Chain A
């Protein structure tokens, strides 16, 4: 800020107007303030376009399609919403998944993403752009990522200054931690939710800084948007009360905090209850009780403060304080105790409890522990997703601690809590990314400002000395020169070049990571062929399209829950279990069927009315995320509910094998038979025996697989997806 003010008041005689290159354009010469505005706006515009463009790798390489698993469910619901309108969507009961239970979709999803995409679609259609809803869905996440950079700019301006805002926008535009979940085609809740998260935090910090009811109202609506978009809103409703508590403890409270928090909490809570999936959790669930506790604490705190101000009598006030404290603490403890004991206030759910106690999921909830995104984070994941931001983060924290204000306290708390959660679960690196980018931007801005000040002060001192030339000024200039470090200007220039180098390496790293690691659609696999050319495996879509064309419309498909959403969205058939994983017993039934012998499995399949079974097999291509590698999770989840399935039956000396030395139960279970049917006749690699499994790197144990109750219906061209038809029971005994 100081440097910019200097610029503005520099006398015009020092401005090099004579050296202006094009004298004819002198009339267009802008004042410094306008120049600065132009630079800022053009930088922001470029950052906006960059954030959108860097996420388009997979659209350019493959085609505009939806990636992964969860986005297919979101796409299907958005399609339903645009075809049938909002009321049908809100009251939708879906009989095509979780057969025979069905799923109340209207009451068990977060509608924010679908409604947003549908609104964008309607707006574009209104402007007579004839787009397909799929294109809108694919490009929603990059569009909102660009909007997030704008919010990051304003947020950075709030906590530090405009330079930090620009740095924050630039860093968050390409940060791989955010790109991983918001690439084009990743049509998932987080793409919209991070925008809503940052917006809510920005509005709240603005409300605390200004004490205005309007900003408080804006933060309540930002919170409503976040609640409608993602289950991670629990982070907001716990971080904001914690922040309020810290401000109260450090004595930084005033009427502004009172207005901001009350407005946001009450209105936000009422708005959040409009989402059916959330319901009354804000008054009933243990995870939301912290906010309520802080709300009541705040009322008591401000009441006592006001009484102290009006009473003006310390002794009377002291006794009043004692009475109030006793009453409020006892009433609060009583209410909490009665609520928890009667079960009205439900305890913390497993998903969020495992964040506080990371060992909980491993021992108690295998479904949560099995998801690869829920594993704790190793250092290389941090490095991969953040690069030099990991160096800038502690430096930024130092600068925030040096110049403390309400806004910097907030960003420090956000950064620390989100980094802890990011350490517990890889997926939550996404939530930490905005905080890390903002704090790093503070470090970048402060360091570069220091360096440029070093470069400018010496030249300014020289200029004043040369223009004035009086002895007193010379003495003071010399004194200031003496205090400076040796070779200050050169060192500062070199360091500035070094900072530029580091930031450019960051940009190169981010682009490489996005291109190599985060732009794969997962539904289309790519590999390098023998001669270096690229080979594309489109087996998944081939199988789903076969299902759509060649099976009766009311056929029921049994597969592991990973593929459920894709089968319903693309294959348009009813599935038994899907990615929602809301019913553990149902999934355990499927797991039991997959791990039993064929006759036991046939009974289970008859009871579920299964017509087709779908398995994913990577032995021919070397694809390692197939069902044989996931098989132990089927055994664990099935065994968790049906004790007849015991994990040691499938292991040999604690080792999981599929070759000749494998356990006999493993060699004859349904999953093994379905994956390796007719595989024993196939030569997969030159120089290896037939039946060589390229994903496990061994020759399989049971090459002669015979199926009694199922028959093969379809195998894709690279043997990745295999579909079997369940035979009806025999007519004669």
Chain B
């Protein structure tokens, strides 16, 4: 139990007993008297190993955040759609005049449909935009070296610009009547 928890005061007697030297069972709280002997009187405590191994600590917030970002990338690229509907990686269409087979990257005709590669590239663009904003915030940290801060800021700004431009391009290709 970590120090962050604040404990309940079980009864006024418990508070009184806390003032006196510890490990003295001189309280008038009946439950405490019961607890002294009740379970151990006729039960023998089972031999359990209760200590968690010390290497099993909670991961740091930033580790969890990286995992979260990966999960977000998977979900937003339509991974569940890919698993269930099993579309091809990239579509193909036959050129009517020459008969050659041309690849089609974006599935036309529907808003809720995709090929695998278009999903992954769009998901990457979204994550790039998010990472750009994060880099911009990291650039304001006064404890880093100045050159690092400048590179963070420039990467961040260019990442956002590229991500937004590409996402707009993708959606315009996908939905021909977009913002008409």
Contacts and interface: CB of A to CB of B under 8 A. Distances in A.
B6 A392 contact: no
A593 to B, nearest CB: 30
A362 B122 CA distance: 26
Interface residues of A, number: 80
Interface in B27-42: 29, 32, 35-36, 39-40
A394 B72 contact: yes
A447 B78 contact: no
B101 interface: no
Contact of A426 (B36, B112, B179): B112
Contact of A252 (B4, B72, B178): B4
Contacts of B79: 423
Nearest to A318: B50
Interface string A441-472: 00100110010001000000000000000000
A502 B137 CA distance: 17
Counting chain A CB atoms within 10 Å of each CB, which of B71, B134, B157 scores highest?
B134
Contacts of B80: 358, 376-377, 423-424
Contacts of A308: 1
B61 to A, nearest CB: 5
Given A305-B5, A326-B46, A376-B78, A447 B164 contact: no
A358 B45 contact: no
A377 B65 contact: no
B139 A485 contact: yes
Nearest to B18: A312
Contacts of A426: 112
A320 B39 contact: yes
B104 interface: no
A380 B4 contact: no
Contacts, number: 214
A394 B5 contact: no
Contacts of A517: 111
Interface in B18-63: 18, 22-23, 29, 32, 35-36, 39-40, 43, 45-46, 48, 50, 58, 61-62
Contact of B78 (A258, A309, A323, A423): A423
A401 B133 contact: no
Interface string A204-221: 000000000000000000
A379 interface: yes
B84 A379 contact: no
A358 B58 contact: no
A310 interface: yes
A395 B134 contact: yes
Contact of B48 (A322, A362, A397): A322
Given A320-B35, A323-B45, A485-B139, A395 B130 contact: yes
B28 to A, nearest CB: 13
Given A391-B133, A397-B68, A419 B75 contact: yes
Interface in A234-282: 249-255, 258
A483 B72 contact: no
Counting chain A CB atoms within 10 Å of each CB, which of B8, B17, B32, B171 scores highest?
B8
Contacts of B46: 322-323, 326
Given A255-B8, A306-B10, A401-B62, A378 B140 contact: no
A309 B8 contact: yes
B83 A358 contact: yes
B81 interface: yes
Interface residues of B, number: 80
Contacts of A309: 7-8, 10, 14
Contact of A384 (B10, B111, B164): B111
B144 to A, nearest CB: 10
Contacts of A381: 111-112
A391 B119 contact: no
A53 interface: no
B141 to A, nearest CB: 11
B76 A395 contact: no
Contacts of B153: 485, 491
Contact of A483 (B131, B142, B178): B142
A359 interface: yes
Counting chain B CB atoms within 10 Å of each CB, which of A255, A307, A318, A383 scores highest?
A383
A536 B61 CA distance: 56
A210 B118 CA distance: 47
B2 to A, nearest CB: 4
Given A485-B149, A508-B179, A376 B81 contact: yes
B150 interface: yes
A509 interface: yes
Contact of A495 (B14, B81, B157): B157
Interface in B152-180: 153, 157, 160, 163-164, 167, 170-171, 174-175, 177-179
A115 interface: no
A393 interface: yes
A251 B150 contact: no
A375 B112 contact: yes
Nearest to B81: A376
A401 B64 contact: yes
A485 B145 CA distance: 11
Contacts of B1: 251, 305, 308
Contact of B122 (A250, A372, A379): A379
A249 B133 CA distance: 30
A301 B72 CA distance: 33
B111 A380 contact: yes
A554 to B, nearest CB: 42
Contacts of A305: 1, 5, 7-8
A402 B60 CA distance: 11
A302 B1 CA distance: 11
B114 A310 contact: no
B84 A416 contact: no
A321 interface: yes
A3 to B, nearest CB: 14
Interface string B107-144: 00001111000110011001101111110110110100
B79 to A, nearest CB: 7
A509 B168 CA distance: 11
B90 interface: no
Nearest to B143: A483
A10 B112 CA distance: 54
Given A395-B134, A401-B64, A423 B35 contact: no
A404 interface: yes
Nearest to B134: A398
8 contacts: A309-B14, A323-B45, A326-B48, A375-B81, A381-B111, A402-B61, A419-B75, A443-B133
**What are the 6 tightest A-B residue pairs by CB atom distance, in nearest-first order?**
A394-B130, A391-B129, A395-B133, A319-B45, A378-B114, A251-B2
